[in-house]
């Protein structure tokens, strides 16, 4: 792993941070921890209120619902940067992140090297917004280095930023070894479910016991994630699987769409085989994946898919959209099955439910290989290169 000589002073700027829990918050907190372990001097500036944490500067305004924004955030960040003089400012943004972009403006005015990581997928509306901001503020001239969490997320950013702004792909980080099923040998570098059902004699072995095929999904139950569409996917997949193949599904997470999902399950008679247990801890998710046969990540605009990466690292075959960020670490027929349409996903889940040999061959491949690009050594090295490039661009 390459690092700068000595300790580097890094200031991360993010609208959202702990104690809030979400994809960006958890990923930035893990990155901070790993960079500190690598010997860097790392601090965080955030607009998220909360208890004091070492090296975390909370620039908070009293706003309704504890919104993570600050009307005069640029000035506060400028003063913080002048006092701390970081070697590089690393800004983390979603689709729209006002405080984070104040951090970009502050770093440009302070003439500090900066790296901007976009954690979301830019849709047409977002692309139009940033094209307008590019014309208004000429942010493409600020010497920033961009990163995205996947190739799918990088493509629209490159189209807006133009050739003058380098946009690299640096994966989200994961302790991939920590998600491996316990008791397995170490993988090369690059189970059945607990529920049992007695089969009818026509299945070939009278009185045989077969484990139900366990389909798992993990994510926030928010309308933009289309969780009700996931339930329809499961319903249609169940219709394509022979009745003598038992099937069950667990959808982990919580959010505003939960009540609508519960109504859908009741209306379609699915409560007996689809469960919504709510939010799980990492340890609970790890235990759940040990019983999973298929993991489904159906969102078409998924910029990365950390839950899918966790499943793939745990050895579970993954079904996902070919146009999402999941395609960076899931390839057709190797780590799972990819589809470009809703019907493709239905067919993929049904195929894996019917074909035990395919499930087992994909699971064996996933257990035997690690997604090296998402390991923390690779992620830290990727950001080291971006920091070096940002410093070189600023010196020029």
DSSP 3-state percent helix, strand, coil across the chain (nearest 5): 45, 20, 40
Task: Assess contact for 309 and 173: CB atoms under 8 A.
Answer: no
CB count in 10 Å sphere of residue 178: 11
pLDDT number for residue 69: 85
Instruction: Give me the CATH topology for the region 176-371.
Output: Rossmann fold (3.40.50)
User: In this model, does residue 206 exceed pLDDT 50?
Assistant: no
In sequence order, which residues have a C-beta less than 8 Å from that of residue 153 and are 6 or more positions away? 118, 120, 121, 122, 169, 303, 304, 325
CATH architecture of 9-173+375-395: 3-Layer(aba) Sandwich (3.40)
pLDDT band at residue 209 under the 50/70/90 scheme:
low
- Average pLDDT of the residues in 254-280: 97
The residue behind tokens 């898919």 is 305
Which DSSP string corresponds to 262-317? HHHHHHTT-TTTEEEEE---HHHHHHHHTT-SEEEE--TT-SS-HHHHHHHHTT--
Q: Using omega within 30 degrees of 0 as the cis cutoff, is the peptide bond preceding 19 cis?
A: yes
DSSP bridge partners of 287: none
CA distance 258 to 253: 9
pLDDT number for residue 205: 41
User: Does residue 210 or residue 33 have the better pLDDT?
Assistant: 33
User: Does residue 6 or residue 68 have the better pLDDT?
Assistant: 68
- Say whether 176-371 and 9-173+375-395 share the same fold: yes
Hey, where are the domains in the chain? Answer: 9-173+375-395, 176-371
User: In this model, does residue 74 exceed pLDDT 50?
Assistant: yes
The residue behind tokens 């479910």 is 193
pLDDT number for residue 2: 40
- Average pLDDT of the residues in 110-122: 96
User: In this model, does residue 20 exceed pLDDT 50?
Assistant: yes
- Average pLDDT of the residues in 380-394: 96
- Average pLDDT of the residues in 233-259: 96
pLDDT band at residue 65 under the 50/70/90 scheme:
confident
- pTM of the complete model: 0.87
| Average pLDDT in the chain | 90
DSSP bridge partners of 115: 90, 145
Task: Assess contact for 92 and 120: CB atoms under 8 A.
Answer: no
- Average pLDDT of the residues in 270-274: 98
The per-residue pLDDT for range 50-60, each reduced to its tens digit, is 999 999 999 99
Q: Provide φ and ψ at 308, rounded to 5°.
A: -65, -40
The residue behind tokens 């999402």 is 324
């Amino acid at each position: 792993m390459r690092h700068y000589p000595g300790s580097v002073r890094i200031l991360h700027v993010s609208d959202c941070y702990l104690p809030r829990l979400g994809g960006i918050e958890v990923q930035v907190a893990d990155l901070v921890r790993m960079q500190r372990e690598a010997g860097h001097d790392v601090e965080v500036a955030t607009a998220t209120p909360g208890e004091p944490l070492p090296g975390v500067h909370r620039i908070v305004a009293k706003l309704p619902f504890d919104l993570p924004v600050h009307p005069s955030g640029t000035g506060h960040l400028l003063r913080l940067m002048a006092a701390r003089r970081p070697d590089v400012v690393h800004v983390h943004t979603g689709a729209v992140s006002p405080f984070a972009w104040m951090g970009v403006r502050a770093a440009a005015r302070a003439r500090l090297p900066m790296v901007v990581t976009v954690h979301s997928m830019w849709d047409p509306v977002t692309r139009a917004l940033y094209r307008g901001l590019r014309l208004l503020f000429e942010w493409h001239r600020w010497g920033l280095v961009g990163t995205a969490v996947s190739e799918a997320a990088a493509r629209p950013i490159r189209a807006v930023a133009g050739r003058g702004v380098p946009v690299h792909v640096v994966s989200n980080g994961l302790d991939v070894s920590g998600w491996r099923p316990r008791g397995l040998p170490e993988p090369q570098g690059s189970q059945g479910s607990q529920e049992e059902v007695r089969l009818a004699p026509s299945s070939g072995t009278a009185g045989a016991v077969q484990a139900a095929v366990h389909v798992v999904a993990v994510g926030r139950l928010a309308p933009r994630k289309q969780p009700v569409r996931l339930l329809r996917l499961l319903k249609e997949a169940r219709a394509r699987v022979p009745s003598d193949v038992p099937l069950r599904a667990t959808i982990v997470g919580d959010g505003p769409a939960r009540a609508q999902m519960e109504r859908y399950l009741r209306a379609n008679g699915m409560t007996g085989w689809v469960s919504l247990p709510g939010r799980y801890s990492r340890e609970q998710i790890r235990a759940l994946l040990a019983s999973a046969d298929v993991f489904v990540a159906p969102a078409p605009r998924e910029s990365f898919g950390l839950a899918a990466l966790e499943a793939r690292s745990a050895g579970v075959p993954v079904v996902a959209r070919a146009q999402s960020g999941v395609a960076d670490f899931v390839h057709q027929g190797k780590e799972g099955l990819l589809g470009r349409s809703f019907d493709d996903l239905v067919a993929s889940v049904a195929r894996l439910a019917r074909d035990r040999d395919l499930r087992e061959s994909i699971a064996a491949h996933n257990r035997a290989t690690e997604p090296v690009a998402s390991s923390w050594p690779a992620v830290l090295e990727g950001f080291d290169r971006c920091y070096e490039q940002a410093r070189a661009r600023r010196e020029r």
